[in-house]
Amino acid sequence: MSRDFFSKSFNYEHIDRDIGWRSETISKRANDGLKLSKKKIPSPCPVCENYHEHKFIQKIYGFTYIRCNVCSLVYLKEIPNTEFLKDIYVSNQEEMEKSPGDDLIITDDFNVRMEMISTPKVEFALREAKLKTPKWVDIGCGVGDLVKAATNLGCYAVGYDIDEREILHGQNNSSNIHCIDVNPDNAERYIGDADLISVISVLEHVPNCVELLKMLVKNSKNEAYYLIEVPRYNSISSLVNINFKHQVSRHMLPPNHVMLFSEKSFDTMLGKAGLQRVASWYYGMDINELFGTLLLNAEHSFIETTELKRLMNEFQAMLDRSKLCDEMLVLCKRF
Ligand SMILES: [Zn+2]
């Protein structure tokens, strides 16, 4: 029986994402989205491959999110092809105003993020998998904050990503990460002896998410654990993005987020890869998304909201317990 856990507290003072950041990000993301939307082609449901049965959800920055009638995944009806999408993450995005990793590289908050965001995820996995000092491989490691958190907690941890700038930034912060594209030809070498493989905020970016998971499972040990984080559609953040479609800065953000998962579509994907849940942790940034967007639209309202910051974690915890949160972190193993 899989176990459920709820809420992860977040200190909003420590991460510099104010109204100015939100406003600037929105305008850059919108321009990039519209630019990239010119190169899109029709896509079947990335999880169940159904092509025809779906419902319209919302059009955002030139892309259309639809919901699969079969597995209930919410995904982009048309997307740029896989090679083109990959290029967005390989640092040759001259034509992009804001690349996916920009905020992580430009802001100097590596250690804060590592302690506040990544360390609790590592502790969750070690506790629920009952592992003490595993070999941990992080696929799509970004700047490597999770890898460093795992190293600090006694794991032999290593991370791989295709974004050179992010890798360099992480190496400068002494994270054990490397710029390598883990693919079917080399996967066994990199993950063959891993006790735990993490795929954090990666699957929603790749149209072939099922293939990627299958490839990892095929090339890893039978007893290996997998730690997967994905965005959840059934959340207040989705509701906010759908209602304020011209002010999306994260979550339902095309083409970065090719898809957002429901419980059913996530479990369908796991099943196809031969995996099952061990433990799930529900948390998110919905309250920040909601009030951030409302405040952005009321800049000169003279409504004093300083007290709100103190209450954000409490509000969010209520949503998490109702599974209306925008993220989940799931520990899995083979059936
Ligand atoms: Zn589907």
pLDDT band with cut points at 50, 70 and 90 for residue 219? very high
> Mean of the per-residue pLDDT values for the chain?
91
- pLDDT given at position 200: 98
Ligand 1 centroid vs 54 CA: distance in angstroms? Answer: 8
Ligand 1 centroid vs 233 CA: distance in angstroms? Answer: 14
d(CA 318, CA 333): 29
Task: Reply yes or no on whether the pLDDT at 107 is more than 80.
Answer: no
Structural contact between residues 56 and 245, judged by C-beta atoms closer than 8 angstroms: no
Separation in Å, CA 215 to CA 50, 116, 139: 21, 31, 12
pLDDT tens across 79-91, in order? Answer: 887 777 777 766 5
- pLDDT given at position 170: 96
Structural contact between residues 195 and 134, judged by C-beta atoms closer than 8 angstroms: yes
Ligand 1 centroid vs 271 CA: distance in angstroms? Answer: 13
- Report domain extents, the chain: 3-334
Structural contact between residues 93 and 86, judged by C-beta atoms closer than 8 angstroms: no
The phi, psi pair for 242, rounded to 5°, reads -65, -40
Helices marked H in the chain = 19-36, 82-89, 102-106, 110-113, 119-129, 145-152, 164-172, 187-191, 209-218, 236-243, 263-273, 286-296, 306-321
Q: Return the percentage of the chain with pLDDT > 70, whole number.
A: 93
Structural contact between residues 206 and 88, judged by C-beta atoms closer than 8 angstroms: no
Task: Reply yes or no on whether the pLDDT at 303 is more than 90.
Answer: no
Ligand 1 centroid vs 267 CA: distance in angstroms? Answer: 11
Ligand 1 centroid vs 56 CA: distance in angstroms? Answer: 14
Mean predicted confidence (pLDDT) in 174-199: 97
Q: Return the percentage of the chain with pLDDT > 90, whole number.
A: 73
Mean predicted confidence (pLDDT) in 56-73: 96
Task: Reply yes or no on whether the pLDDT at 144 is more than 80.
Answer: yes
Mean predicted confidence (pLDDT) in 162-191: 96
Mean predicted confidence (pLDDT) in 296-325: 90
Ligand 1 centroid vs 106 CA: distance in angstroms? Answer: 37
Ligand 1 centroid vs 313 CA: distance in angstroms? Answer: 33
Ligand 1 centroid vs 297 CA: distance in angstroms? Answer: 35
Ligand 1 centroid vs 46 CA: distance in angstroms? Answer: 7
Task: List residues bridging with 177 in a β-sheet.
Answer: 159
Ligand 1 centroid vs 300 CA: distance in angstroms? Answer: 44
- pLDDT given at position 22: 86
- pLDDT given at position 40: 85
Task: Reply yes or no on whether the pLDDT at 76 is more than 90.
Answer: yes
Ligand 1 centroid vs 258 CA: distance in angstroms? Answer: 13
Ligand 1 centroid vs 320 CA: distance in angstroms? Answer: 25
pLDDT tens across 94-105, in order? Answer: 566 766 666 666
d(CA 229, CA 161): 16
pLDDT tens across 263-288, in order? Answer: 999 999 999 999 999 999 999 999 99
- pLDDT given at position 24: 87
pLDDT tens across 6-50, in order? Answer: 998 877 766 556 778 888 889 888 888 888 887 888 889 999 998
Ligand 1 centroid vs 77 CA: distance in angstroms? Answer: 12
Separation in Å, CA 146 to CA 109, 168, 179, 212, 228: 13, 15, 16, 20, 13
What secondary structure letter does DSSP report for 244?
A: T
Ligand 1 centroid vs 273 CA: distance in angstroms? Answer: 15
Ligand 1 centroid vs 234 CA: distance in angstroms? Answer: 15
Q: Please name the fold of domain 3-334.
A: Rossmann fold (3.40.50)
235-238 contact pairs (CB < 8 A, 24+): 235/284, 235/286, 235/319, 235/324, 235/325, 235/326, 236/284, 236/286, 236/287, 236/289, 236/290, 236/319, 236/324, 236/325, 236/326, 237/284, 237/285, 237/286, 237/289, 237/290, 237/326, 238/74, 238/326
Ligand 1 centroid vs 265 CA: distance in angstroms? Answer: 7
- pLDDT given at position 14: 63
Ligand 1 centroid vs 117 CA: distance in angstroms? Answer: 31
